[in-house]
């Protein structure tokens, strides 16, 4: 049975503080579910200082640099299929010498909510009628980040299928292979096979 990405409806979204918008974002400011990547740039509301200045005044201790995640960090309350997605994603990163992503419990909850929300409300988009953008939801859940992105997919029945599909799509692959990302949340809703990956740089 031939499957193609349009039938599987995959989407990717990337958001980063302090990065310039791509030409694609300028010509297509809204997210499309036809396997394209939409890019957004958030401009600081309280200050116009560059990101480097913001990072210099960050109250987070410098010791929080990512390290290789332990088994408990990776597995926590992750379902078997979510763990498979995490493992396959980190295997792809390892092939390029990138550090593995650590599962983040708040981000896992956000990704699960997103997958369930897409099924429950019968939509496929980065913008939820319930929560708004993934970044709105992260903010509401108290998830702090310097950069964030989201991959979504629908219809793939296995972790291998969805990760392979994402890796074969330039926008999704870019999110997975982004060396700046340190943490991931994965959500899977088996009814309709809705998948969400959310990435952050802490």
DSSP state of 153: E
- For the cut 90, the answer to whether the pLDDT of residue 41 exceeds it is no
- Whole-number Å distance between alpha carbons of 69 and 76: 11
Q: Give CA 40 to chain center in angstroms.
A: 14
Q: Are 90 and 101 in contact (CB under 8 A)?
A: yes
- For the cut 80, the answer to whether the pLDDT of residue 23 exceeds it is no
Q: Is the pTM of this model over 0.75?
A: no
More confident residue, 99 or 3: 99
DSSP β-ladder status, 147-154 and 11-17:
antiparallel
More confident residue, 48 or 114: 114
**Topology annotation, domain 8-15+76-202:** Pathogenesis-related Protein p14a (3.40.33)
Q: Which of 175, 185, 176, 181 is nearest to 114 (CA)?
A: 185
Mean per-residue pLDDT of the chain: 73
pLDDT classification of 122: cutoffs 50, 70, 90: very high
What is the per-residue pLDDT for 48? 29
Identify each DSSP E strand in the chain by its residue range: 11-17, 37-42, 102-103, 147-154, 183-189, 194-201
Domain spans of the chain, in order of start: 8-15+76-202
pLDDT classification of 77: cutoffs 50, 70, 90: confident
């Amino acid at each position: 049975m031939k499957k193609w990405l349009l039938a599987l409806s995959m989407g990717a979204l990337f958001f980063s503080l302090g990065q310039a918008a791509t030409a694609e974002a300028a010509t297509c400011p809204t997210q499309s579910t036809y396997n394209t990547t939409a890019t957004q740039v958030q401009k600081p509301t309280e200050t116009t200082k560059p990101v480097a200045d913001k990072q210099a005044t960050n109250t987070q201790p410098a010791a929080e640099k990512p390290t290789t995640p332990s088994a408990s960090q990776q597995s926590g309350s992750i379902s078997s299929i979510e763990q498979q997605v995490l493992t396959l994603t980190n295997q792809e990163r390892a092939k390029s010498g990138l550090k593995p992503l650590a599962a983040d419990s708040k981000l896992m909850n956000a990704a699960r909510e997103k997958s369930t929300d897409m099924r429950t409300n019968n939509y496929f988009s980065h913008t939820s009628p319930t929560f708004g953008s993934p970044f709105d939801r992260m903010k509401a859940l108290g998830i702090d980040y310097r950069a964030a992105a989201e991959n979504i997919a629908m219809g793939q029945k296995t972790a291998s299928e969805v990760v392979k599909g994402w890796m074969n799509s330039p926008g999704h692959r870019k999110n997975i292979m982004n060396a700046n990302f340190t943490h991931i949340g994965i959500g899977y809703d088996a009814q309709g096979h809705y998948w969400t990956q959310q990435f952050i740089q802490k």
